[in-house]
Amino acid sequence: MYAYLIIIRYNLSTIRMENRIKVVLADKKRTNKWLSEQLECAPTTVSKWCTNASQPPMETFVKIAELLEVDINELLRIEKSK
């Protein structure tokens, strides 16, 4: 299985972004089902986000951060390489 990644090329550098939704849900002792209920979306959608098979829209990232009471930066892992 290939993970869905957002890759941006800028000044000959590559920025790779993955979400950490699964990790933060576990830290907060919350489930995919709970998140899908809060966002009123399908559990399969949240599952895809948690495995990085797809990414939620940015406004959904903001809502997830609010629901989990974390800074949005805690939901993202960004790596920069040349």
Task: Inform me whether the pLDDT recorded for 69 exceeds 60.
Answer: yes
Residue 10: count other Cβ atoms within 10 Å of its Cβ.
8
Q: Taking the domain 6-81, which CATH number applies?
A: 1.10.260.40
Which amino acid appears at position 25 of this protein?
A: L
3-state secondary structure of 80: strand
Q: Give me the pLDDT at residue 2, please.
A: 46
Q: Give me the pLDDT at residue 79, please.
A: 79
Cβ-contact 46, 32 below 8 angstroms: yes
Indicate the pLDDT class of residue 5, thresholds 50, 70 and 90.
low
Nearest Cα to Cα of residue 18 among 2, 41, 36: 2
Task: Inform me whether the pLDDT recorded for 66 exceeds 90.
Answer: yes
Q: Extract the tokens encoding 52.
A: 């990085």
Quote the CA–CA distance of 66 and 60 in Å, as a whole number: 10
Task: Inform me whether the pLDDT recorded for 45 exceeds 80.
Answer: yes
